[in-house]
Structure 1
Amino acid sequence: MNRQEATEAIKERLTEYVESITDHSAKGNRKAYVCPLCGSGTGRNKTGAFTITKDGLSWKCFACVRGGDTLDLIGYVYDLTDYSAKLTRAGELFNLDIEEPTEYQKQDRTAHNTDTQTNMHTDTKTETNYIDLYKQANENIHATNYPEKRGLSKAILNRFKIGYVENWKHPNAPENVPTSPRLIIPVTKTSYLARDTRENIPDYQKAYAKAKVGSSDIFNARAFIDYLDKPIFIVEGEIDALSIMEVGGVAVGLGSTSNYKKLAGLVKDKQLERPLILALDNDSRGRKTQEELGKLLQAQKTPYTIAVLTDQDAKDPNEMLVNNRDDFTARVEEAIRNAKDDKEKYLETSTDNYIQDFLDGIADSVNTPCISTGFAMLDEALDGGLYEGLYIVGAISSLGKTTLVTQIADQVASKGQDVLIFSLEMARSEIMAKSISRHTIMEVLQTGEDTKNAKTVRGVTSGNRYEKYNSTEKELIKNAVQTYSGYAKHIYITEGIGDLGAQQIRETVEKHTRYTGNTPLIIVDYLQILAPYNERATDKQNTDKAVMELKRISRDFKTPVIGISSFNRDNYNNAVSMQAFKESGAIEYSSDVLIGLQLKGAGDKDFDPTEAKKKNPREVELVILKNRNGQTGSKVPFEFYPMFNYFVENDNPQYILVDSENEMTKPKMVGEAYDVIPVEGTDLVEIKRKE
């Protein structure tokens, strides 16, 4: 029913309510009673100080000078001043289904508030101590099987001194009120719940099936003293709280939805080590109260979480316990785990929790050195090689950025280190052909053979050319394939098909680590064509997101990630700089090492990029633009053979070993541009470019 209808119906039940809570004491006046508020009306003449008007709609006590209607009386009895709170409590007492208030009704609450407490005398009634009743009732608990029907064990009954009174009536009820069998649930020493245990309750008594004696208090409030280190469930009813404790939780019962403010006040300054778990009844009133309680807790910074302990067939935790104990137990246990995890996960972010891991990492790093790039000068510029972190390599078109990085991949793999290449532009076969082409020029340079025999990518992949190759050329390709096969098992190439994004990269790395037990070096070619995380976002936003995700992958798997990036077009004639990296500020800010490739002389006044590209080999400089943990500004000179996808460091001593029949032989390199210098006391030679 709506709230206005409920208010009128409650007013008409004044006499019924009064006779349930106090004695009819007056002589010759059926409408005079002992005042349930101040106890007056039992004097020598027993005239009754508390009277009800002839129409049965209002009351007045001539002793404590208070009066009003049914809602006012309920407000006095339960210490409620708010109209909505009194209406809610009346709905519980009379078993009425009352709709929730509209926003207008909330704002116009005073129009409905018939409270007459203002300027009246304060309540002076004394509270009764019911400890003896609890002891006697608990001793008699065996006389009823009601707790068993509600899923409660003897252990929980004894723990909370739950008892049974076969012929019970309210302490303030008149003698002519019939008794009923009640489960007695102590709340405080001066208040308890008396719950009717009959299966079939007469209609005129249904409104009082759950009778409260004393003030409306929080059940098991002591939990806020004894269990601050555990998550505490907040539920509505006393039996709901007992149900949760039956399966191993800790719970507190509001006793009435109107008590949610009192609950918030109880925990306001408590140092809870775990969040509260809100699990009120599965009905509109319960959901609304839970929402309001959550707002209060949030405002006063009391941690809490929410759990669903019921299914659609159960209104409250006790019904769930009775209907499906196993499911209910699982829900309670999951809620406890989640409450623990939420707070523990946050508290674990304190740096104090990571000091030992930090020290262990230092110790572990002794046996896990950085990864060598295979280029001595580059390793030196990078303080030894590749470490955990995000490396971005950029260059103008056709300068060999992909070639350099995939050559590093080959050189890393040849040492037994796994490499994952995510190629969004080149096919797997093209990357493989680049490596085989590179090995043909490397062998030619090492043996002093004619460089015309070395093969380009097309020369390797075009099968119709093989019939024209001489035996030397065919042997050269065969040797290159065999060399590549020697370490190819450590290279894994994932081709981009339009949907390759950072998440797929993460999943692939995770799978590789799980299946092989090895953490790979990761290469992404290239950043700007990774699948966007959001089709509606700009290119810059998508690139920023990709860079940050790759940084997280590097951190999470503790491995180097090399990303290849394009350059802005206006950098073709200029020296490389951090501003040259395309479409993203995240590249500059999130990368650990930022590397640019440029033609030698780029940025000089008379620099001509076209002429520089005609040189064979091309002179290329690798510039360390940013190094979060090392020096910046270092330049590493390279010679680049674009036809054969080969980089070689310039002006750097090279120690090259040639594997012949699984035995290491003296290295040698024959060519007009190099000097071969024996290293005294060893079987090695130093190969140095001539001045």
Structure 2
Amino acid sequence: MITQDSIEALKARLDIVDVVGSYIELKRAGSSFKAPCPFHDEKSPSFTVNPSRQKYHCFGCGAGGDSINFVMEYEKLSYPEAIEKLAASTNFTLHYTDNAHQKKRSNLLETLNEWYQKLLEQNRVAQDYLHERGIYASSIERFGIGYAPVSGDTLRFLEQRRLPTSEAIEQGAIGKGDDGRLFARFIERITFPIHSTSGAIVGFGGRTITGHQAKYVNSSQSAIFNKSRLLYAYHLAREAIYRRREIIVTEGYLDVVMLHQAGFTHSVATLGTALTAEHLPLLRKGEPKIFLAYDGDKAGRAAAFKASKLLSMSGFDGGVVLFEGGLDPADMIKNNQIEALNALLHRPIPFIEFVISETINNYDLQDPKGKESGLHETIGFLKTLSPLLQEEYRPLVAAKLGISPSLIRLGNTQNTQHQPLQLSHHDIWELSFIKTLIERPHITDTLLDFIDGSLLQYHASEFEAALQGRFNDPRLSALMMDDRIRVFEGDEGIKLELITFLNAHYNRELKKLTTQNTVSFDQKSYLIRQIREKIARLKKGELVPLT
């Protein structure tokens, strides 16, 4: 058994706002925080987190307790399992009454990182790379940057230090092949330790310097490492984020290191993945403005577009800064363009304006059908916003499309108790899909490999609300009570429905692409081939991943 002293010491280290806030979005309400209760459906938030008492309580269903109770209830864990999970995420060593079952943490990742740092000091090629990128020795030390050698060296190091193989596999330091042979996950790479919000190392990112096929890799998912909930360097940026009430989100580790080096210490990065709904609770902390600092190439613009839709639909304030001409924040800082960078970061394109512009730019406005399609897609996005914002942005949409504002008919997007919604075939399918996700949450992670909110034309905001667990949202409540909206039956039924939807979606994308005049012939030909390949695979009954 875990000793009571050990449990009390762990509790003293935990902050309930951080623990609960890593699972659900909390909003300040005086000296406490509130949110819709994650344990029952409700129309108004009655779930309260009190930081001074380190307790949570729901006045609706009566759920309550401390950080350990919350993790037990949310993740359906036993009391010891919840304690061990929290201890692992905060780098805390537990003690047990029975020495035979003592589970003393080996500090494996911390030990491995110290070794990586020493190896960097001995590797001239890795040092030269960092020096050429403009990174100071002080930044290398502050961020704990290191170097991972060939696989055999890492395996021998773990064996010499008598670090448990099972724990190394569990924490993503090594892997096991189909033939049972062990291998290091980071080979000949510059390493960037990734920390939890409390500062414990939970994984690594690695950048190749010897031409490996993947430029960057991350630790594999584990009990303590979920790349969709973590932000690189958040533990170093948190104080500045809370003080400035701003956060800069970039796409790369080196961008963050260089931004901190130049004084932009409120900078973080996603871990080689797009910004997702799971990042929102962390981004919400301190209620900062969000500035997306992304590359201005096609991939960067696409990532900024998806993130901007997600953030605007979720009520975040901020905007997008795109870096053109192949430059990124790290390059600008290296070239002593800090004043120019500062000016760029202070002139972001607001999220909603960016989404509208990017949406319309995807269509050939010289073609009346293209203009009409652009109008329909933009209206679909506007309907995800509040009535006030819809009206405010109506003139911008009209100006960009070159049409009269009177043609932008948004209709009444507010649900009423007395008048049922008029639903089209497309509405019915999208709402049925959302209802299926709500009633069968265990399939959500699998399906998100093939579809996200950006693919829905009419109900993207309800989709995001369902993913975030905001089941008290009036739109979701109305959806669940509407008998016209069915739940898709069985795994095979869901697959067939999704294939039909994706086939229609990619055919629309193909038609849209043929009318575009903003991309080169070669690039258009390449994209057309990609989409046709997806359509061909769908026709064979195969689901096609988003990327």
The verdict on a shared fold, with TM-score over 0.5 as the criterion, is no
- TM-score with structure 1 length normalisation? 0.27
The structure with the greater share of residues assigned to helix is: 2
* More strand as a share of residues: 1
Question: Which one has a bigger Cα radius of gyration?
Answer: 1
TM-score w.r.t. the length of structure 2 is 0.34
